[in-house]
Amino acid sequence: MKNYHNIITIILAIVTITCTSSQGLSTIANNKPSSSSAPTIDIISLIEQVNQTTLLTYLEDLLAFGTRPTTSAACNNASLYISNELTSMGLSVRKQNWTHNTTMYSTNIEATIPGLRPNNPLIFILNTHYDCWPGSPGADDNGAAVAAALTIARILSTHSFNNTIKFVFPSGQEQGLLGTTYYIQEANARHEPIAGVINADFIGYATTTSNGNKIKLYDNSQSRWLTAFTDGTADKYKDYIGLDAIPSGNNANYSDQLKYWAQGFNAIFCREYQFTPNAHTPQDSLENMNVTYATKVCKLLIATLAELGNSDLQIPLLYIDTISGGFGVHTSVMNVGTSTATDINWTIAVTGKTIFIGKISTGVLAQIEPGTSAQIHSRFILGFGAANLTITAGAKTKTGQASVFLCFVYQPLNTTS
Ligand SMILES: [Zn+2]
């Protein structure tokens, strides 16, 4: 992994060249840590401000609420504690209340350090779920990562970056990534320029020195650059962090990054190298934690967030806008990122028992400049009655429903944003 700086540079150059080649532009992505518009930030000093006692205090405070299953009083108390801590740091804090199947309700918490870049700062998220498995103390799952996020927020709250940094604390994770599902729904509706998500879950278990020097990073192919970026950061500050990042592919079939992947976002999953045998048991307690290890992971996370915050990454970010009807199905694909999106494959699928013509339309958008959108239209449709609409563009998918009468599509209803 010693050559990761070069690998990152090459990957970013390839991404940029791919994105700009059709225009013949010569812009090359700049992934250098410092930038002209934000004050120079001494990342080594940020790492050195990470204090094990601070992290441990946050963790002990969380564990003092008792087991924190979603919708319990303890979970609610933990959410108040987290939001109060973030507010006391002077961060802008937003609560997203959600209910699920009328029996489960809870709150996602989001704290934001707004980016300084005048044009469209990208958003980078540190995601740490704060609920836990019923009956488990939830120290490693996921108290340690929540404590790390609070520790990082406290240090970064006095700094500003080019890009926006958000700390997101969802609940409902143990019941099927519910909090994250609602968080992403809202981000989709707002067309938030979320460029990368680091999901930290299980970051405090290691029983040997060797395992305490390694951290796993799971990704999907679209997000591999973020693994390389994080790995490169671990290498760059190895003397101050002491962790080897181990790229581990996409074979992690649990935790919140799955929802981000499913919705076409860039996300990685940061997880302890030696997976705890205590997950979801009463033994997931402080005495079985390695807080020194969690503190090292915390150092890697703060360095990576600060590097991302300062970066000038060139990334296209697509959203599919509201679906409309009329003669055919119509919408537009927008690019809220920082580089041109090119060769975007799209499909509009209209399915129903009595749809006869125009069930599938496909095309390729040559390019969409940052801050602009391109319209897409289905071909001629002929049918009757209810139809399901599925629109894809690049890695993004949007679904809806409508009624079709002859060649007219009535009242399309967006079911996912
Ligand atoms: Zn977890």
CATH assignment of the domain containing 343: 2.60.40.10
| 196 plus 165 within the same structural domain | yes
State in Å: Cα 187 to ligand 1 middle.
22
Q: What pLDDT, on the 0 to 100 scale, is given for residue 137?
A: 97
Question: Tell me: the pLDDT tens digits for 149-178?
Answer: 999 999 999 999 999 999 999 999 988 899
**Interior/surface letters 195-206, b for 16+ CB within 10 angstroms, e for the rest:** bbbbbbbbbbbb
State in Å: Cα 94 to ligand 1 middle.
22
Question: Tell me: the pLDDT tens digits for 380-389?
Answer: 999 999 999 9
- Report residue 14's pLDDT band, with 50, 70 and 90 as the boundaries: very low
Q: What pLDDT, on the 0 to 100 scale, is given for residue 163?
A: 97
CATH number at residue 130: 3.40.630.10
Domain residues for the domain of 160 are: 36-310
State in Å: Cα 342 to ligand 1 middle.
36
- Domain end, chosen from 310, 332, 364, is at 310
State in Å: Cα 276 to ligand 1 middle.
11
State in Å: Cα 157 to ligand 1 middle.
25
State in Å: Cα 271 to ligand 1 middle.
10
Measure the CA–CA gap between 241 and 235, rounded to whole angstroms: 9
- Domain end, chosen from 257, 289, 310, is at 310
Q: What pLDDT, on the 0 to 100 scale, is given for residue 38?
A: 57
In a domain, 358, yes or no: yes
Q: Is the confidence at residue 182, as pLDDT, over 50?
A: yes
State in Å: Cα 258 to ligand 1 middle.
12
State in Å: Cα 161 to ligand 1 middle.
29
Q: Is the confidence at residue 327, as pLDDT, over 70?
A: yes
In a domain, 248, yes or no: yes
| 278 plus 330 within the same structural domain | no
State in Å: Cα 132 to ligand 1 middle.
7
Measure the CA–CA gap between 260 and 262, rounded to whole angstroms: 5
Q: Is the confidence at residue 17, as pLDDT, over 50?
A: no
- Report residue 119's pLDDT band, with 50, 70 and 90 as the boundaries: confident
Q: For 296-305, what is the mean pLDDT?
A: 98
In a domain, 26, yes or no: no
Q: State what percent of residues in the chain have pLDDT above 90.
A: 85
Residue 271 tokens, joined: 């997880």
State in Å: Cα 99 to ligand 1 middle.
20
Q: Is the confidence at residue 236, as pLDDT, over 90?
A: yes
| 232 plus 330 within the same structural domain | no
Q: What pLDDT, on the 0 to 100 scale, is given for residue 37?
A: 52
Q: What pLDDT, on the 0 to 100 scale, is given for residue 13?
A: 40
State in Å: Cα 325 to ligand 1 middle.
41
Question: Residue 142 has what DSSP assignment?
Answer: I
In angstroms, the Cα distances linking 370 to 32, 81, 114, 268, 392 are 21, 39, 20, 24, 19
| 276 plus 403 within the same structural domain | no
In a domain, 187, yes or no: yes
Q: What pLDDT, on the 0 to 100 scale, is given for residue 416?
A: 65
Q: Answer whether 264's CB lies under 8 Å from 395's CB.
A: yes
In a domain, 30, yes or no: no
Q: For 345-355, what is the mean pLDDT?
A: 95
From 12-26, 50-64, 153-167, 392-406, the region with the lowest mean pLDDT: 12-26
| 296 plus 334 within the same structural domain | no
Q: How high does pLDDT run on average in the chain?
A: 90
- Domain end, chosen from 275, 310, 345, is at 310
Angle 45-51-55 from CA coordinates, rounded to 5°: 135
State in Å: Cα 138 to ligand 1 middle.
8
Q: Is the confidence at residue 26, as pLDDT, over 60?
A: no
Residue 292 tokens, joined: 């020194």
Q: Which of 242, 245, 271, 236 is nearest to 256 (CA)?
A: 271
Q: Which of 93, 126, 90, 89 is nearest to 107 (CA)?
A: 93
| 301 plus 259 within the same structural domain | yes
State in Å: Cα 21 to ligand 1 middle.
41
Q: Is the confidence at residue 134, as pLDDT, over 50?
A: yes
Residue with tokens 């309700």: 105
What is the total count of domains within the chain?
Answer: 2
State in Å: Cα 173 to ligand 1 middle.
7
State in Å: Cα 139 to ligand 1 middle.
10
| 206 plus 241 within the same structural domain | yes
| 271 plus 326 within the same structural domain | no
